[in-house]
Amino acid sequence: MVLKEVIGDETICVVGLGYVGLPTAIAFHSAGFRVIGVDVSERVVEVLNNGESPLIDSSSSLVIPLDSEKWMITDDFQEAIPASDVILITVPTPVNPDNSPNLSYVESAAKSVLKNVDRSKRTAVVLESTVYPGVTRRILGSECERLGLSTEMVTLAYCPERVNPGDFERGIESVSQIVGCDDAELGLHLETLFGKITQEGSTYVGKMEVAEASKLIENVQRDIDIALANELAMVLPRIGVDVEDVLSAAATKWNFHRHTPGIGVGGHCIPVDPYYYIELSENAGFPSMLASSSRKINNSMPINTANEILTILHSKKTPRILILGYSYKANVGDIRETPVEPLASYLKEGGCEVLIHDPLVDSEEIPNWVEVVSEPTKCKDLDLVIMATYHEEYNYSNTRFWKSMFSIMKRAKIYDGRRVLPREDMESSGWVYYGVGAPNK
């Protein structure tokens, strides 16, 4: 038994309207579906009902279909859930201070959704949040059991979101989807449904645990690949070799995965999801060695970078440093797990005066123990500029910006924490260049 015979007739409910949920809701609406968005945050509901986006960065490209009859935003589960056929849960899955998975948002959303389903019809409840294998079955499945919901009333599925925030060229429509569902008929139905919001295709991959594990290892692999680039960035300059030259040389081979070293890994996914895998491996009785080592390497990059910078500036008593960018990645205003925070903290502990500029981050979100600047080209007495997050505003093609930065410094020194600036060009225009993984001249 499928949900509705004609795909497109379903009402889709998206629970959690953040970086993942909101674009997903808009994508289904654009594909012609009736969409109900539910969020527990009064602010999110209010902002969306004013036709604006609550997201800081990509919001500019998101158009909220406020006047559409097929669009509704609410905080009322009782109203939204019975009226929906497919419910997508896209709530946060962070880690606790001890790095153990925090599944409380999933538990809470599962309860709010399942107690309100219409028992007289079949509803598909699809978890999209990143979790480890078994979580959908354990949390949502046991709640179904507790509430006496049969599989004819609620069928569970797992369909991970694989979108890359800040990547404006690869939105939801350009990312392939996978669907895990124990019920193959419904799995294939959902495959077709998700296929409506992407040009890259949708694949039914079998039971939920396959899709859950797939999402997890995609991010574990990225963390491991980045850790290799970061470790090499610490090793190779010690023998006078630039890590970027080596990575570019290796990338001439077809099967080499090219990653760029940096000051650290941030965001909601890459530095978080490996801990879900680590917990899974421990529970399975074979604790991961690889994922733990990668986490250690990537977590050590802010202190490694700070130590390099303190060595460069050792002759200054109180070096004055401007950090460009505070968010965790270029062109997003998201500061979750940003490596710039520990980097700034280590520099401060090392005796530096730290200034931070970020055009996309609200100054209230930047720690009050640094000086937040609104006009980087007007800073005085700087000893070093650190490129931490390569926002468009800092693009090297913005010659006005770079000329102004150069002109305000007595001795213009740059530390390229993302290896995005052209060393030779900068040096020929008078900059003293340092960079992660680059040997000093």
Ligand X SMILES: NC(=O)c1ccc[n+]([C@@H]2O[C@H](COP(=O)([O-])OP(=O)(O)OC[C@H]3O[C@@H](n4cnc5c(N)ncnc54)[C@H](O)[C@@H]3O)[C@@H](O)[C@H]2O)c1
Q: Are 181 and 207 in contact (CB under 8 A)?
A: yes
Q: Are 287 and 104 in contact (CB under 8 A)?
A: no
In angstroms, what CA-CA distances link 254 with 248, 251, 257? Answer: 12, 7, 9
> Is position 358 an interface residue for ligand X (rule: CB under 6 A)?
no
Site for ligand X in 303-342 (CB under 6 A): none
Q: Find the shortest distance in angstroms from Cβ 419 to ligand X.
A: 23
Read off φ and ψ for residue 184, nearest 5 degrees.
-60, -35
> Is position 139 an interface residue for ligand X (rule: CB under 6 A)?
no
Q: Find the shortest distance in angstroms from Cβ 215 to ligand X.
A: 7
> Is position 278 an interface residue for ligand X (rule: CB under 6 A)?
no
Virtual torsion, Cα 351, 239, 328, 21, nearest 10 deg: -160
Helix (H) or strand (E) holding 212: helix 208-235
> Is position 434 an interface residue for ligand X (rule: CB under 6 A)?
no
Q: Find the shortest distance in angstroms from Cβ 165 to ligand X.
A: 4
Q: Please tell me the count of residues contacting ligand X according to CB under 6 A.
A: 27
| CA distance linking residue 244 with residue 45, whole number of Å | 45
Chain position carrying tokens 């080596």: 246
> Is position 129 an interface residue for ligand X (rule: CB under 6 A)?
yes
Q: Find the shortest distance in angstroms from Cβ 365 to ligand X.
A: 14
Q: Both tokens of residue 281?
A: 């491996």
Site for ligand X in 159-178 (CB under 6 A): 161, 163, 165
216 vs 247, which CB is nearer to ligand X? 216
| CA distance linking residue 54 with residue 420, whole number of Å | 30
26 vs 109, which CB is nearer to ligand X? 109
Candidate segments 158-166, 196-204, 224-232, 405-413, binder of ligand X by CB under 6 A: 158-166
Of the candidate residues 3, 10, 14, 19, the single one contacting ligand X (CB under 6 A): 19
Helix (H) or strand (E) holding 218: helix 208-235
In angstroms, what CA-CA distances link 177 with 24, 76, 160, 173, 199? Answer: 12, 29, 7, 10, 10
> Is position 158 an interface residue for ligand X (rule: CB under 6 A)?
no
92 vs 237, which CB is nearer to ligand X? 92
| CA distance linking residue 47 with residue 56, whole number of Å | 12
Candidate segments 40-48, 250-258, 374-382, 395-403, binder of ligand X by CB under 6 A: 40-48
> Is position 20 an interface residue for ligand X (rule: CB under 6 A)?
yes
Residues making contact with ligand X (CB under 6 A): 15-21, 38-41, 44, 90-93, 105, 108-109, 112, 129-130, 161, 163, 165, 268-269
